[in-house]
Amino acid sequence: MKTFFRSFQHQFRSIVAQSPSATSGGPGTGFHPGRNFYQGYHGYGRAFTQANNNSNDDEEGRSPSQAYRNKLSRRQSVSNSSRGEVVRAIRDQRRNITTQSVHPAQIEQSGRPRSNSTTSVENVKSGIEDAADDISPPQNTHDLHNLQLGNTQSELGNELISRISAAKDSNDFYAVKRIVSSVYTVTDPTVELWDTALEALCVTRPDSFTVDDAVSFYNDMIARDLKPTANTYANLITILCLRDNFVHNNLSSINARKLLDPSLEAEAQALESEQNFKIAMSIFNMAVRLDLLPGRVHTYNWLLMACKHHRDIDTAINVFSIMESHPKIKSQHCTYAIMIDLYGSVADLEGATVIFEDYVNGLNSHKIDNKPSFATLPLNKSSTVYNSMISTNFSCNEPLGGVEVFQTMLESSLRLRPDTVAAVIEGFARVGDSSSGLEWLKRTAKTAMEGSQIPHPPVSSFYFIMTSLLKEAKFDEAVATHELLKECQNLYTMDPTGVELNTFSENVMEAIITKPEQTEQVIEFANQVLRQQMIEKSSKGIYYPAIQTLIYTCASFGRFDLAMGLFIQWAQAGKIQFVDQGHLTGRRIWHKYIAVVVNLVIKTPNISLQQMFDAFRMAYDNNVVCSVETLKLILEKVKQARVDCEGDFKLINLTLEQWKMYTTVWLQSAKNEINNESQGFVNAESAEQFVADIINTFGKNAEDVGRVINVNDLGFVLSKMLDYKASAELIEGLGYRFNGAESYTSGYVPADKMQTEQAVAMSYPSFDSSDASLDQTPPTTPGSVEPEYVFDDELSELVSRHDYRRNMGISPSDCYKTLMDGVSNGLTASISALAGLANALGRIGETDKAKKVYTHAYEVLQLLTSVEERSSGWFRLEDAMISGLGHGGDIEGATQHRLRIIQAGGAPSADSYAACINNVKETTDDATLAKELWEESRKFGVKSNTFLFNSIISKLSKARKAHEALEILDQMMAERVRPSSVTYGAIINACTRIGDEQSAINFFNTMVKQSKGQLRVPPFNTMIQFYTQTKPNRDRALYYYGEMLACRVAPSAHTYKLLLDAYGSIEPVDKGSLYKVFETVVNDPRVKVSDTHWASLIHSAGCIEKDVDGAVEIFDSIETHPSNRQGELPDAIVYESLLNVFVENQRQDLIPKLLESIKASNIHQTAYISNLLIRGYASSGDMSKSREVFEAMVDPPMGAAANGNHPNDLDSIDSAVVFREPSTWTEMIKAELEAKSVTNAKKLISRMEERMYPLAVTSKIASLIV
């Protein structure tokens, strides 16, 4: 080993002697082999060898300072002689402050005045008070929902403290903000509540957010005459310093990119204008004056970090001195590290040495706080201080000093960490000596591989050396370094972090800026490194920001070919990792990558229109929503191409696919401006030009036009941007007939497909007495008549009063009676009124009346003389029947009317498709039929609205098809249709059904943030149910109940059922709260005590607490309970819950009596009761009875869902018939398997398959058989 290090010493001396830092006037002036280097280096070599036998892992061992101080005294100081006085001033000031009582008025700042010092800032309170308020008090301050569970106003503050703390522990900033807004509802708040809220804002705030809301919250506190505490000031200072840290780091990245993109200057100036440090210091000074010093060391650490960022030594000395004087605070290791880094940033090695010596003295005196530091501060370890001292020596052009600190550490009992090795390796590279850095990297890596106590270099050091070599065009050495990294990663766990990968990419960008002629070679190498690091080695997968930096660099240098190559390659890799695996959160990451990179690539200088479309294709093919800026850039490029072709758009020579992308971009831009009610790049003039482009290329050939644009969408856009006449002219210019704004969802039929002059845009069938027959028309199609009615406006108004939007309290049945009275007197209503009434009657299940209205309306159509009126009226009538019958559950009837419209060349409206999708119920595979209806609507170009999107997403989520539901959500976003709380509720439901907790939380937070007061109960219930049943966690369930109250959403009966489960089914059972909730249900006039509430109480007593007698007692009390005045309970669900108690507790002896009670009460025995009987008999070994119960049940009609097993469909079946559910088959097969009757289990599977159960159902049940 000694021989190895002697050879290393020789090589290293040679390298340093030839390196840039050895030459006069270079970065290392004053540092050369002839000046103490050999002595220091030999010492290092001996210590390096001895380190192999040092097994002490205690970082806080004896201090290795004296050797370093001796070596420092032998070297000539690199600082100016005037700095000696500064050092004395540091000590004098700190000694003066420490030995006196700390009264704010007595503290003065010393040292030279600095231009960026905050000492001249006396008070910026007015600036704080003027900050924008992001958390405004709610307008309605009533606390109805908080009182529902017995909470009084005095208890509300404590409840909010608990909820804020829970949200803080979950690191959920948006939840914190929502709950904090409720603080304003407390009429007599405490300072503790205000401080808790401010601390939660501090801990959970994303770094990229400004501090306006926190500052405003503080100002509101002052306005309420609440006196801030030391914690108040500490939290506010920390928030400001965290933001200052983000601004500093972000500015570093932006300033590097400004060289490629001057437009970033505005963003840089906006960040530089923030006064976070100034305000933080003003608040700190205020706290000092009021003798309310922060009591947590990390507050001072963050102030010192801010001083470091602003290179403000004087202020740092002041803060450091005040902290040292605090009787309850000890400086941390990281405190000294920050101070040393600060002196290093201004090249003051002597000042850094003073701090270092004080640290060593404090370490020897046990005055250093070893508790963990704030998460984003430097690690609170002794090695962190030594690392800072090493780095400071290098930054002060004293590499020898850095090596000597490292040597001192080797000779001590300190445990070396990889970041210490990194400090030396990267230190050489930072002073321009990458060769020495590379040699250190190689030697330390090899030594670690040989089993030495010297740690291997971290990944960041390999990255740093590789990029340093790239800047010097040393590609062979960079490749060799990468090979060495791979060798180390085969031996050690060295997964790169996102920060390390991003730093690597940014350094690659700087290397290309340094030598742009090497762009292709550098990018190729960097891409190979990233592929190996993120795909082959990293367990964390792809980190896209690092890739985006490379693509941005290529695009900025005009290398579209390189940018597109990277884009496609990493898009495909991400699709495999994120999308194809069905990861919902990953899918979002992938979509964001596509959107961001498309925007980057299309900004490539001198890019052609065709290249733009090549870049946009990835987004187009995957329904990725691009930014408004992206869409505008493409349209501007199209506009320029049109000018270049002197207006002859055909000469641009777009392919069919490019045409589709062009029309998609234009329509998305138009919809965006319509939704935002803005008038920007896409306006009436551009709409006319857009249509002219289409006509110029395709003429009036409707078939060709239909291949490149959804004319339905175009009709919608034009109807919003132009008047009727202008819209009609443009649509008809494309070979289509415009039916008016109200008909834009109905589809458009090419004019060249009209049969005669009498034909219309959607030519409804014409019947007369000679050819009308039931064989030719659906059952609800009327025959020909000779109507003699008079249109009456008053009758039209009367039969429209059922409309819920008019809130007149008149039922559709009443309106039907009014219509029939009018008809008998020769009067009739408008087609619009008749269609609306037919729809409304169908919705409430009055299908016979709906069909009569339809028959009458069909007669009235003959009275219309205008072809357009007859066409639109016929469509409106047929569409109304689809919607009404669909909502009423008559899917077969709705289908007949749907097919009539399609056969006539049109398409039903989005609302009609939604009604059918929503109400496809009576089959064993609802989701498949719903998906077919959805795809049909897309095929016919129906413009999907929120209702239609919500309907298909909800249906898929209930079928646990989360992946497909999310794909449709992507389409919804791509079409600029704003998701509602119903949309998010369905997606949240899909996520919870497949157990994807994090995605559910993310979508929930997005919903609450975006829905703005239009929230509904189901999403909250879904989250509560998830933490009650799927992943039991009472605290999280109650947290979402609190969120419901905070958002002023009234709990439903199901909410209370879930709360009963939360208190009664999650152990330990909280009986007090359980019965308090039940009492609330009883007393709440908005909800009714139902079977599920009693079932929860019975389940808690009998199944959780195993108290069978208690469960029976609850059951027996139902009949006489005041809430059961109607005598409706107990019903099948309540009986089922008690039966479950008997089965779970092996009390089969009680089952016969319960069955007699069910029969005596005329309660229908549902499949779920039968399931429990099968399980109960099987568990007692009586398989014959289990089989008897199963075989006594009946299969529903093939392909139809079982009926009679739910309260809402019990009236429609024979009380003696019990239909099997899929769960019944599952229960019976489990029973057979437990009885070792595998053959019988397989026979049951075969019977299911014969009955055409969906594959998803049978395969899941078949999986039970191993």
What would the two tokens of residue 1168 be? 């779920």
pLDDT of 722 strictly over 80: yes
What is the pLDDT, as a whole number, of residue 32? 32
pLDDT of 372 strictly over 90: no
Position 740 confidence tier, pLDDT thresholds 50, 70, 90: low
Superfamily of domain 912-1007 in the CATH hierarchy: Tetratricopeptide repeat domain (1.25.40.10)
What is the pLDDT, as a whole number, of residue 862? 82
Mean pLDDT value of segment 938-948: 88
Q: What are phi and psi of 1145, to 5 degrees?
A: -100, 10
Cβ-proximal residues to 655 (8 Å cutoff; 6+ apart), any chain: none
pLDDT of 78 strictly over 50: no
Four-point Cα dihedral 86, 92, 98, 101, nearest 10: -110
Listed range (395-399, 743-747, 816-820) with the worst mean pLDDT? 743-747
What is the pLDDT, as a whole number, of residue 158? 80
The b/e string for 136-155 (b: 16+ C-beta within 10 A; e otherwise) is: eeeeeeebebbebbeeeeee
Q: What is the pLDDT of residues 297-323, one digit of tens each?
A: 999 999 999 999 999 999 999 999 999
What is the pLDDT, as a whole number, of residue 1215? 59
Model-level pTM? Answer: 0.63
Paired with 750 in beta bridges are: 736
pLDDT of 205 strictly over 90: no
pLDDT of 421 strictly over 70: yes
Contact predicate 70/43, CB 8 Å: no
Residue of higher predicted confidence among 769 and 411 = 411
What is the pLDDT, as a whole number, of residue 62? 42
What's the full length of the chain, in residues?
Answer: 1266
Mean pLDDT value of segment 802-814: 73
What percent of the chain is predicted at pLDDT more than 70?
80
The three-state DSSP-derived secondary structure of 16-34 is HHHCHHHCCCCCCCCCCCC
pLDDT of 827 strictly over 50: yes
Q: What is the pLDDT of residues 1017-1032, one digit of tens each?
A: 999 999 999 999 999 9
Paired with 1194 in beta bridges are: 1219
What is the pLDDT, as a whole number, of residue 175? 82
Position 622 confidence tier, pLDDT thresholds 50, 70, 90: confident
Contact predicate 1022/1052, CB 8 Å: no
Contact predicate 1235/1229, CB 8 Å: no
pLDDT of 121 strictly over 50: no
Q: What is the pLDDT of residues 501-518, one digit of tens each?
A: 999 999 999 999 989 999
Position 538 confidence tier, pLDDT thresholds 50, 70, 90: low
Q: What are phi and psi of 1126, to 5 degrees?
A: -80, -10
* C-alpha span between 159 and 180 (Å, rounded): 12
Mean pLDDT value of segment 849-861: 89
* C-alpha span between 1164 and 1158 (Å, rounded): 8
Residue of higher predicted confidence among 532 and 16 = 532
Question: Directed axis angle between helix 313-325 and helix 83-98, to 10°?
Answer: 30
What is the pLDDT, as a whole number, of residue 747? 36
Contact predicate 833/800, CB 8 Å: yes
What is the pLDDT, as a whole number, of residue 865? 78
Torsion sign across C-alpha atoms 1018, 1023, 1028, 1029: positive
Mean pLDDT value of segment 321-340: 94
On average, the pLDDT of the chain sits at: 81
What is the pLDDT, as a whole number, of residue 547? 94
What would the two tokens of residue 352 be? 């850094």
Contact predicate 2/416, CB 8 Å: no
Position 807 confidence tier, pLDDT thresholds 50, 70, 90: low
What is the pLDDT, as a whole number, of residue 677? 62
Characterize the bridge pairing of strands 827-828 and 790-791: parallel
Listed range (108-122, 522-536, 584-598, 976-990) with the worst mean pLDDT? 108-122
Q: What is the pLDDT of residues 1037-1094, one digit of tens each?
A: 999 999 998 888 999 999 999 999 999 999 999 999 999 999 999 998 889 999 999 9
Paired with 828 in beta bridges are: 791
What would the two tokens of residue 462 be? 């390999």
What is the pLDDT, as a whole number, of residue 739? 59
Cα separations (Å) of 594 from 15, 533, 616, 632, 1002? 46, 21, 9, 17, 20
Cα separations (Å) of 596 from 591, 628, 669? 9, 12, 17
Contact predicate 624/970, CB 8 Å: yes
CA angle, residues 46, 51, 56, in degrees to nearest 5: 145
Position 112 confidence tier, pLDDT thresholds 50, 70, 90: very low
Q: What is the pLDDT of residues 1143-1195, one digit of tens each?
A: 999 999 999 999 999 999 888 889 999 999 999 999 999 999 999 999 999 98
Which long-range contacts does 1064-1071 make (Cβ < 8 Å, 24+ apart)? 1064/1096, 1064/1097, 1064/1099, 1064/1100, 1064/1101, 1064/1104, 1065/1028, 1065/1032, 1065/1096, 1065/1099, 1065/1100, 1065/1103, 1065/1104, 1066/1028, 1066/1032, 1066/1033, 1066/1034, 1066/1037, 1067/1104, 1069/1100, 1069/1104, 1069/1105, 1070/1034
pLDDT of 540 strictly over 80: no
Cβ-proximal residues to 1122 (8 Å cutoff; 6+ apart), any chain: 1082
Shortest CA distance to 664 belongs to which of 720, 624, 704, 698?
Answer: 624
What is the pLDDT, as a whole number, of residue 343? 97
Mean pLDDT value of segment 634-643: 94
pLDDT of 58 strictly over 80: no
The three-state DSSP-derived secondary structure of 737-795 is CCCCHHHHHHCCCEHHHCCCCCCCCCCCCCCCCCCCCCCCCCCCCCCCCCCCCEECHHH
Contact predicate 28/433, CB 8 Å: yes
- Sorted by where each begins, the domain ranges of the chain are 1-75+382-455, 496-626, 642-753, 764-904, 912-1007, 1015-1087, 1192-1266
Mean pLDDT value of segment 727-750: 64
What is the pLDDT, as a whole number, of residue 608? 94
Contact predicate 751/735, CB 8 Å: yes
Torsion sign across C-alpha atoms 107, 113, 114, 120: positive
